[in-house]
């Protein structure tokens, strides 16, 4: 199965990522952490209420 992306990844972007993989991975981890914290906040704000 092949999934075609809507846009091709620019070669320059990929080159920059490869050259700066540590920065890329840290940025990705920071984004994941932010999303996880937002999800936990939503769970705390809107808990499932038993009826």
Q: Hey, what's the torsion of the CAs at 28, 33, 39, 45, to 10 degrees? A: -150
**Residue 14: is its pLDDT beyond 90?**
yes
Q: 51 pLDDT exceeds 90?
A: no
Calculate the average pLDDT of the chain.
94
42, 35 Cβ separation under 8 angstroms: no
Report pTM.
0.67
């Amino acid at each position: 199965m092949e999934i075609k992306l809507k846009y091709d990844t620019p070669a320059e972007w990929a080159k920059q990522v490869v050259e700066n993989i540590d920065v890329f991975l840290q940025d990705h981890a920071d984004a994941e952490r932010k999303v996880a914290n937002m999800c936990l906040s939503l769970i705390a704000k809107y808990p499932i209420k038993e009826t």
